[in-house]
Structure 1
Amino acid sequence: MATMVTFHAHPDDECIACGGVMRKAFEEGHRVVLVVATRGEHGEVPEGFLAEGEELWQRRVVETEAAAEILGVARTEFLGYVDSGMMGEATNDAPGSFWTASVEEAAEKLAAILREENADVLTCYDDNGGYGHPDHIQVHRVGMRAAELAGTPRVYQNTMNRDHLQRGMAAFAAQAEAAGLEVPDLNGGDEVGKPESVLTARVDVTAYNDHKRRAMRAHASQITEESFFLSMSEEPFSVAFGIEWFIREGQGPGITETDLFAGL
């Protein structure tokens, strides 16, 4: 049995980005540890959704625990930083925000968990955080440094395959439009994911699509039934989420790995 620590910025990021490899690892007998930098304090929530006196972060912690159970997580930890909001917002520079945190300090917090778990694998994000969110970029910086401090042997930078996404969007855009659903623009050039040529790991997680969707559904404050994630039918969902992509330094060029635990 090996141990994977998967590091994310906010509640719900885990199921969207790595839900498949998390459940796959659990099914194969590995230990899965989830670490979340913030409690997602600045997420948007419909009016009247929360109970009287309930804070959004409280609901999102409960949702994370429910999603973690679906994905086979053995341990969940929050580093205690505050959601920084989208890039350019005043919340980026608020006291306690993850974006303003000392990388060294935050990395030591994560490294302590890596050491406790004797982690074999760490997942974080690519250097642009997938799409430029400040907390996601900070996950990359903190994750890479924490792995250095703890001596974690394998670090996979989770990302999106920009070329695959653009091909897939064309496959179901017409279907979504006919159903009256909003299709997000994923053709953001250098702002979304990484080009196929720099990716080194491709993990087929289509067998766990149901777990990913159920975990997304557990984050009801952020992912509604009408959302892009849950409203699409099985085929486009599989195109969008059935493969999880990673970069590992020292691998490549091209895809050289299809299993984060191979050889462990």
Structure 2
Amino acid sequence: MATLVTFHAHPDDECIGCGGIMRKASEEGHRVVLVVATRGEHGEVPDGFLADGEQLWQRRVAETHASAEVLGAHRVEFLGYTDSGMVGTEANDAPGSFWTAPVEDAAQKLAAILRAESADVLTCYDDNGGYGHPDHIQVHRVGMRAAELAGTPRVYQNTMNRDHILRGRQALAESPGMDPETMPDIENEPGFGKPESVITAAVDVTPWLKHKRRAMRAHASQISEQSFFLALPDEAFAFAFGTEWFIREGQGPGITETDLLAGL
């Protein structure tokens, strides 16, 4: 049995990019630990969604535990930082935000978990955080440093395959019931994802797509039934979320791995 620690910025990030590998690892008998940097305090919800007196962070923490149960996680930890919001907002530079945290301090917190768990594998994000969100970029910086401190042998940077998305965009647009206006337009966003040429691991998670959908639904405050994620027809959902993509330094060129815990 090996231990996989998967590190994310906000509640709901875990199911979108790593939900498949989490459930796969759990079903294969490995230990799965979910670590989230913030409690997603600056997400948006419709008026009246929360109960009287309920704070958004409370709902999002509960949603994270529900998602983690679906995905087979054995432990959930929050590092205790505040959601930083987007660049240019007051929240981004606020004291206590994850973005303003010294990397070394945050890395020490994560490294303590890695050591306690004797982690074999850590996932974080690529150097642009997938699409440039400050908290996601910080996950990369903190995750890579924490792995150094703890001596974690395998580190995978979760990313999005930009070429795969562009190849499939037209097919998705032509799917029955899909409105092209609701689809992410990444053609003019060079910072969205990474080119396939730099990706070194591709994990087929189609056997666990039902768990990914259920975990997404657990995050109802952020992922509604009408969202792009859940509105996708099954075939399109499988194309978009059936493979999880990673970069591992020292691997490649090209995709050389299809299982993050192979041999462990």
> Within the alignment, does 1:58 sit opposite 2:58 as a pair?
yes
Match runs of 1:79-94 below 5 Å? 79-94=79-94
- Give the letter aligned to residue 106 of structure 1: A
Is the CA contact 1:41–1:56 (under 8 Å) kept in the aligned structure 2?
yes
| Secondary structure of 2:190 counterpart | helix
Match of 1:187 in 2: 187
Q: Separation in 2 of the partners of 1:180 and 1:190?
A: 20
Q: Match for residue 126 of structure 1?
A: 126
Kindly report which structure 2 residues correspond to 1:115-264, keeping only aligned pairs within 5 A, or say none. Answer: 115-175=115-175, 182-264=182-264
Distance between the aligned counterparts of 1:178 and 1:72, measured in 2? 31
1:86-105 pair list within 5 angstroms:
86-105=86-105
Contact 2:110 2:143 in 1 (8 A): yes
Compared CA separation, residues 3 and 86, structure 1 to 2 (3 A): same
C-alpha separation in 2, matches of 1:178 and 1:97: 37
Paired amino acid for 1:26: S
SS at structure 2 position matched to 1:191: coil
Measured in 2, the distance between the counterparts of 1:166 and 1:250 equals 27
Separation in structure 2 between the aligned mates of residue 148 and residue 55 of structure 1, nearest angstrom: 36
TM-score (norm 2): 0.98
Identical columns (%): 76
Q: Distance in 2 between matches of 1:10 and 1:86?
A: 13
- SS of aligned partner of 2:18: helix
2:109 corresponds to: 109
TM-score, normalised relative to structure 1: 0.98
What displacement does 1:177 show?
Answer: 6.5
Shift of 1:178: 5.3
Quick one: which amino acid aligns to residue 248 of structure 2? Answer: R
Which residue does 1:26 correspond to in 2?
A: 26
Question: 2:19–2:211: 8 Å Cα contact kept in structure 1?
Answer: yes
Q: Which amino acid aligns with 1:246?
A: F
- CA distance in 2: counterparts of 1:81 and 1:254, whole angstroms: 36
Give ranges in structure 2 of 5+ residues lacking alignment: none
**Is this contact kept in 2: 1:177–1:183, CA < 8 A?**
no
1 CA distance for matches of 2:86 and 2:233?
29
Aligned 8 A contact 1:176 1:183 in 2: no
SS at match of 1:163: helix
**Contact preservation (8 Å) 1:39, 1:82:** yes
Q: Distance in 2 between matches of 1:186 and 1:68?
A: 29
In the alignment, structure 1 residue 8 sits paired with structure 2 residue 3: no
Could you say which residue in structure 2 is the equivalent of 1:17? 17
User: Deviation string for 1:141-180 (max 9, x for gaps)?
Assistant: 0000000000000000000000001111111113366558
**What SS does the aligned partner of 2:32 have?**
strand
SS of the equivalent of 2:6 reads strand
Deviation string, structure 1 residues 202-235 (Cα, Å, up to 9, x no partner): 0000111100000000000000000000011101
Q: Does the Cα contact within 8 Å between 2:129 and 2:140 map onto a contact in 1?
A: yes
CA contact (8 A) 2:71 2:212 kept: yes
Shift of 1:112: 0.1
1:66-90 CA deviation, whole Å, 9 max, x = no partner?
0000000000000000000012222
1:230-262 CA-partner distances (Å, limit 9, x unpaired): 011101101110000000000000011000011
